Amino acid sequence: DQQVKQNSPSLSVQEGRISILNCDYTNSMFDYFLWYKKYPAEGPTFLISISSIKDKNEDGRFTVFLNKSAKHLSLHIVPSQPGDSAVYFCAASVYGGSNYKLTFGKGTLLTVNP
Amino acid sequence: DTEVTQTPKHLVMGMTNKKSLKCEQHMGHRAMYWYKQKAKKPPELMFVYSYEKLSINESVPSRFSPECPNSSLLNLHLHALQPEDSALYLCASRTGQAYNEQFFGPGTRLTVL
């Protein structure tokens, strides 16, 4: 049973436009959400996170929105740049102190075209 | 120093070999993780060490043996692996406090012949 779902395997956008990556979750116990970016043959790089007490968190070109009632979050990248082309993973966790672990979605491949 | 390092970058081994993967961080993080990632799949958690003690083992076969010699170092000992164990092995660390992100290393690309 997949608790974190990224239903779009891929997304293609033009440079300068907005990229919107979506993520849904089923476990209502999740209270912390993260986005990671991954290039091939490299480890994931942390981008941005949000806790369940907030509905928005912004860091430069990246904004994450959380809709708890819909169990949905999204990552907005504005403006998109060719260097943003990568696989983006949504991840979620239940607060568990030092034992906390992440549950990942399957990822969305973002391609930003010049 | 804000990075997690992993060695070797690539490893090819036979099914009868014994090898080890190494992970190091000097950020003072007290939780360290091993993940396995197959192509086009998300990272899959294997082990969690918290304050140098094994706190989570996700039912990983005994041919994978983790070790945490100190708070900065995490090893994964490999013995009698199968070709299906070929994957990218990722190490990660975090502070151990609530609501902190995990920092990932670059991974070791393992091929089992």
Q: Which residues of chain A have pLDDT under 50?
A: none
DSSP state of B34: E
CA angle A26, B32, B87 (to 5 degrees): 75
Minimal CA separation from A12 to chain B, in Å:
17
| Residue A49, amino acid | S
Task: Write the residue in A36, A42, A106 that is nearest to B107 by C-beta.
Answer: A42
Inspect the interface and report whether the beta carbons of A44 and B101 lie closer than 8 Å.
no
The secondary structure of A44-65 as a DSSP string is -EEEEEEETT-SEEEETTEEEE
Q: Which residue of A has its CA nearest to B102?
A: A46
pLDDT in tens, A49-82: 999 999 999 999 999 999 999 999 999 999 999 9
Whether A35 and chain B come into contact, CB under 8 Å, resolves to no
Task: Compute the mean pLDDT over every residue in chain A, rounded to the nearest whole number.
Answer: 93
Altogether, the residues listed in chain B come to a count of 113
* Helical segments of A17-114, H only: none
Residue A56, number of CB atoms within 10 A of its CB: 10
Residue A52 dihedral angles phi and psi, to the nearest 5°? -70, -10
pLDDT in tens, B46-105: 999 988 999 888 889 999 999 999 999 999 999 999 999 999 999 999 886 666 788 999
| Centroid of chain to Cα A90 | 4
| Residue A5, amino acid | K
CB pairs under 8 A between A and B: 60
Whether B56 and chain A come into contact, CB under 8 Å, resolves to yes
